[in-house]
Each structure stands twice: as structure tokens, then as C-alpha cells.
């Protein structure tokens, strides 16, 4: 019997004011394949990080102590408004995430990736209510307004908040095996949108 592939690790970058569902929608979906996917939360320091909703979440390690990543996910949230102007953070993110096999974002997390130069030369999308703001970052990003999520080579970006769960299910199909996303969707009783171009919120 062939050996099972080594588990993939998803590092999620937390920051003050991150959006809870941007993180825990994907966490819930990805954890349905827990034998194949590991999840680690990173913060400015190891310890609690407050979300936009005020709920505090524990980061296992600090950004500065993060190992070379496999899969990176940057959520959105009100805190991205400050993060896109934090030069030290953007320099760290660009150097660290550029080594990853996959770089992903949910919602306005794509503005952070763009501000760090990680989406230049790639197609990408973002939250539609914040679309005008988010797409003001990056110099050579091919922004896609009508998209639930976008995959361009190793860059995965989703539209707002709940779209991150659909993107995470598609990611499971890609990194685990076809059908893994559907199995996870059934387990969490999620009515999956499996079409990345079906975006009812793109007016």
C-alpha cells in the first residue's frame, strides 16, 4: 500500500481586528480533513488576539517566530485598514509568505497581500462592499470583481467573509483529493457554492 502523503500545514495570520468568520469558516472546513491538514494560528505575539467582534483567540506563535510556511492564509477584517500601512509587518509578510507553496486570503486580506506585493502579476478578488478600497493596493494586480474566489497558480483569494469557506472547500479538493471538499461540506452542513465565478454579491 502506498504511503499517505505528509499532512499539509495551514498558517493563519491573526492581527488585532481580524474577522472571526474569515478565520473560523476555513478552519471548520479544513479541520474536517484533520489527518491531512494541520492548522496553526500566528499573531503579533504568542497569546490572545482580539477579533473585530471582540472575541479573543489564542495564537500559538508570534509572526517573528513562524517557521517557513507551507500554506498561508490572511483573513480580512477592520484591522486590515491599519495593517496595509504597517511597513514592518508588510516587509515580514512578503519575505515569509513568498516561500509558501500556497498563499491565500479571505475578504480584505487580499488588500494586505497586495500591499505586501504578493499579488502583483496575479488575478485576485476581494470583499465586494470594500472592493473599491481593497483594490487600491498593489501595482500590477488583475482584480476580478465578479468572483466568489480566484485561483491563479499558487495564489487563492476569496470574496467577503463567508466566501472563505467555499474557497477552503475548493482548497481541500486541491491539496487532499477530489471530493474532499464535498465530504467536508456535508459534515458541517454547509450548502456549498462550488463555482468560483458564481458571485451573487458582485453588483
Task: List the Cα angle 24/27/30 in 5-degree steps.
Answer: 150
**Strands 149-152 and 47-50, sheet pairing:** unpaired
122 annotated active-site: no
Residue with cell 507553496: 101
* Distance set, CA 190 to CA 28, 104, 159, 161 (Å): 11, 21, 17, 14
Reference 181, options 190, 170, 167; nearest CA is 170
Reference 160, options 145, 170, 148, 172; nearest CA is 148
Catalytic residue among 107, 134, 168, 172: 107
Residues 6+ positions from 40 with CB-CB distance below 8 Å: 9, 10, 11, 12, 60, 61
Catalytic residue ranges: 107
Amino acid at each position: 500500500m502506498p504511503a499517505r502523503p505528509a499532512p499539509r500545514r495551514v498558517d493563519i495570520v491573526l492581527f488585532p481586528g481580524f474577522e472571526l468568520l474569515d478565520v473560523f469558516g476555513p478552519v471548520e472546513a479544513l479541520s474536517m480533513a484533520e489527518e491531512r491538514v494541520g492548522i496553526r494560528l500566528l499573531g503579533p505575539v504568542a497569546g490572545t488576539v482580539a477579533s473585530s467582534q471582540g472575541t479573543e483567540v489564542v495564537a500559538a506563535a508570534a509572526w517573528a517566530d513562524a517557521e517557513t510556511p507551507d500554506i498561508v492564509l490572511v483573513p480580512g477584517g477592520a484591522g486590515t485598514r491599519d495593517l496595509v500601512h504597517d511597513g514592518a509587518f508588510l516587509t515580514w509578510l512578503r519575505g515569509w509568505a513568498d516561500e509558501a507553496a500556497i498563499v491565500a486570503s479571505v475578504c480584505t486580506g487580499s488588500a494586505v497581500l497586495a500591499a505586501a506585493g504578493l499579488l502583483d502579476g496575479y488575478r485576485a478578488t476581494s470583499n465586494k462592499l470594500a472592493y473599491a478600497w481593497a483594490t487600491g493596493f498593489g501595482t500590477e494586480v488583475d482584480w476580478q470583481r465578479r468572483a466568489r474566489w480566484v485561483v491563479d497558480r499558487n495564489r487563492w483569494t476569496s470574496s467577503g467573509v463567508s466566501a472563505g469557506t467555499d474557497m477552503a472547500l475548493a482548497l481541500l479538493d486541491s491539496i487532499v483529493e477530489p471530493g474532499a471538499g464535498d465530504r467536508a461540506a456535508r459534515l458541517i452542513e454547509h450548502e456549498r457554492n462550488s463555482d468560483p465565478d458564481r458571485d451573487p454579491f458582485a453588483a
